[in-house]
Amino acid sequence: MVFQRFELFPHLSVTENLVLAQVQVLKRSRAEAVERGLRIKTTAPSQTSPSPTKGNT
């Protein structure tokens, strides 16, 4: 079983979810966390159009 939305806050944007842990846990500055969050967000593969899996038609 895969939880794709595990530990995310639905009221926050993707970037805010990426920034939150960095600021709270890693004690990074908000500016650095936003910069890193945007870098992660832009380099992550898109989940908008998943490729078909074997057996699905």
Residues near 19 by Cβ (< 8 Å), separated by ≥ 6? Answer: 30, 33, 34, 37
Residue 30 has a pLDDT of 94
> pTM for this one?
0.55
Residue 53 located in a structural domain: no
What residue numbers bound the domain in which 21 lies?
A: 14-43
pLDDT digits over 3-51, tens only? 555 667 888 888 888 888 889 989 999 999 999 888 877 776 655 544 5
Residue 12 has a pLDDT of 85
Residue 27 has a pLDDT of 93
Burial category of 19 from C-beta neighbours within 10 Å (exposed 0-12, middle 13-18, buried 19 and up): buried
Residue 57 located in a structural domain: no
Q: What is the DSSP letter of 51?
A: P
Residue 1 located in a structural domain: no
Q: How many domains does the chain have?
A: 1
Residue 30 located in a structural domain: yes
